[in-house]
Structure 1
């Protein structure tokens, strides 16, 4: 009886201030900012905004990479990021007098450079997101050994020879990052969030219904692993992931690919990847931009009680408690009574999600404190809320709690089981709840089918499946049939 659920669990993000500090510490952005401050009137760039080759040794030296054989490449990469993020502004080159196509431009300081030190955390994160977009594009760019082979006689680039579809490449990498995001948040995922590269590659290649991968599928996994190895090496410097690359001794000579590990092999040699807190933020922002429902804890703190209870319907318990705590905290101690009244009002309803809303309302009231008592007492006579109000008051040892009418007892029992069924909770706990409720009330199934609740028949059918006593199970199924017949009438 589950309603539609969000595709992703809620993420608990670091504060914007913490994320901004992480962004400012990302190695690639650090280098880009240093080069932006180093650049001056004499800095020369090509037609595409890249540093001219003669400038690269000085740029690498400024970054402390003068002795690194890849220093010029790192400097070029950092400069491109400085351009892409607006840390420097490129002035278009003027046509050279000789007309040999080697015109050079100059650069000026970009407005965004000052924002890295004097801007708000939001400013810093906006710049970093621009950088992530640029690095993502680099990670999905085609790889080729000799660019000259792709240049036609007329000077144009033969893109067909690349066998490269930019949209397909971007979709693949976004799919991988989405799977990594989901594994990081999943309760069944790795405890520290670190995922073996073969498992991540397999999540993109191996069909869900395939028990044993074929040789062809394993080969595709190997290809995907090496593709991801290259991409994560590009992504790591922007701070989105922590990455341990594939051990190069595993690579075969023919295809420069590592075969997926056997069961008894050290999987860490095949690459390990983990989204950083900044990476969780960045991937979520990309998914939101693409229209994906990617909730975050705290999103509902300034919303109404109806949005809160609907929003946390399928949240894991800890995330739901945190969200409720933030929501109540935003109303302050003086607003507890009105907040409780708002929660109770939002918990009413006969729709399919209503039982779960009432369950979460009960959890929210448990965090509200004694100031909520007047609002709770005000609904003691409400057919839908009177039962949970009595439970709340009894748990606090309140005096003068009126005994519930029998109809309310049965209605609350059905509503409670309906909520647990929709939440897909622990099966043993649900079975215990079912058996406990039916055992506490003599002749439970003789009366339960009369309960005026939209989920009565479904609840009784579920009780018939879950109850371990064959007699009780039969009685539950018989009661479910009566409830169905009653609904038709």
Structure 2
């Protein structure tokens, strides 16, 4: 999977390995592969590629409880067998080339593999490793054109004309990986799909429609429609392995359509009948699987809880890139099981620094200390004289009604104001709430802008420039711009 678009993704909340392993064992295709692995024995015959002999497919299908009258039963059995072989649930010995003449077909043998025991005796992680191997097989199969396309591409000699088929294995695999990455991003991003299904046209359009395009052209709509139908077939294949929950495209809708699905394809998310175009969502197991593939591809795809055993410096650096809710979830897991006094002291120490990320680290530190009780007070009091943390400490103590807290000097007040606004800008950008915060922080200080430009904070000029753009009072905004110029002139280039 490509790491180009989103080198760092929002953190995902994963179920425990034990819960995910149960989900994996319950996935229909994986469960069938396990059953066939247990069925394999001395009488099981396989071909040159390890595939089941054709005359054994009915018995395999019967073992799986499939209806032999169903023409697809042999295909289901063959797919489950391929998964069993690829994951190591079955060991095959292919037929030897003994130079035998004639048309007599030669067969190899099969037996349960060593990894089959892991299904019942292995740790949850062992089961998940087997499932990930099965997922690789299914994803590879899903990137292959369907049988009708292959038949249409046969040349006069019965060989597949790949130029006519217009199929590039690498391109198809990359396309499917990109779709799954987009589905993952929609699922883990706050305000995105969350636990809701995603319309199939939205996923198709995310891969086809160029950024910034207004009304898609007819040519683009046709590409989206083609991609949507390809995804419809692929998600049908991915559902049995437990990766997704999928509602296919309504066949009646396709029968009614005259050519591409026109404007509805790109705008289906707003249509009351959007479900007719197909809906897909990643399962909890699917989130685990796509994240595992992303990590293997070098994408930074964090999971909530993975910082629990790391130091406060790693915690604050990481959650500085998270949304507020995701940061809170990670902080709560980090705090669980730690003694409050030691945790508070470690957090405060990690919050120091005059680098660009310092303000946001201190904001996340303040967030982490918010639920702390009286046990944390000594650690907080110990930094009252710290130029970077003294303001934060006073806010924490004041919120708890603690007395005998020395009032901050003006320099600390101004420094804390700059630090607070810099943190908010780093966390959320120029939000609608930020001008009100600016007005609140400056309203009670006469001559604020005459003093604040002198503050020894690396973000002073940057913050004043933002205030010059955003402050709701025009006179104050003008003063902020003048102060920003002074601050910028004061600092060496």
Q: TM-score range by the shorter chain?
A: over 0.9
Alignment partners' CA distance in 2, 1:101 and 1:169: 37
Q: Which moved more, 1:316-325 or 1:354-363?
A: 316-325
Q: Which moved more, 1:99-108 or 1:115-124?
A: 99-108
State which of 206, 209, 212 in structure 1 corresponds to 2:212. Answer: 209
Normalising by structure 2, we get a TM-score of 0.93
Aligned to 2:473: 469
Aligned to 1:115: 118
Deviations 1:81-132 (A, max 9, x none): 1111111100121347344372111101111111111110000000000000
From the superposition, tell whether residues 374 and 466 of structure 1 become closer, same or farther in structure 2 (CA, over 3 Å).
Answer: same
Aligned to 2:274: 267
Unpaired runs of at least 5, structure 2: none
Aligned to 2:193: 190
Q: Does the residue aligned with 2:214 lie in a helix, a strand or coil?
A: coil
Contact 1:226 1:257 in 2 (8 A): no
Aligned to 1:54: 55
**Is structure 2 residue 241 aligned with structure 1 residue 238?**
yes
How many pairs were matched up?
482
Q: Which moved more, 1:379-388 or 1:395-404?
A: 395-404
Aligned to 1:70: 72
Aligned to 1:324: 331
Displacement of 1:32 after TM fit?
0.7
Aligned to 2:450: 446
State which of 333, 357, 360 in structure 2 corresponds to 1:356. Answer: 360
State which of 304, 307, 310 in structure 1 corresponds to 2:311. Answer: 304
Unpaired runs of at least 5, structure 1: none
Aligned to 2:181: 178
Displacement of 1:264 after TM fit?
4.8
Report matched runs for 1:381-460 at 5 Å: 381-424=385-428, 427-460=431-464
From the superposition, tell whether residues 260 and 56 of structure 1 become closer, same or farther in structure 2 (CA, over 3 Å).
Answer: farther
Alignment partners' CA distance in 1, 2:492 and 2:242: 60
Aligned to 1:140: 143
Q: Does the residue aligned with 1:216 lie in a helix, a strand or coil?
A: helix
Q: RMSD in angstroms over aligned alpha carbons?
A: 2.2
Contact 1:250 1:258 in 2 (8 A): no
Displacement of 1:7 after TM fit?
3.5
Q: Does the residue aligned with 2:433 lie in a helix, a strand or coil?
A: helix
From the superposition, tell whether residues 358 and 426 of structure 1 become closer, same or farther in structure 2 (CA, over 3 Å).
Answer: same
Contact 1:325 1:367 in 2 (8 A): no
From the superposition, tell whether residues 434 and 289 of structure 1 become closer, same or farther in structure 2 (CA, over 3 Å).
Answer: same
Q: Does the residue aligned with 2:111 lie in a helix, a strand or coil?
A: strand
Deviations 1:274-306 (A, max 9, x none): 000000110011111111111111121111111
Normalising by structure 1, we get a TM-score of 0.94
Alignment partners' CA distance in 2, 1:234 and 1:5: 27
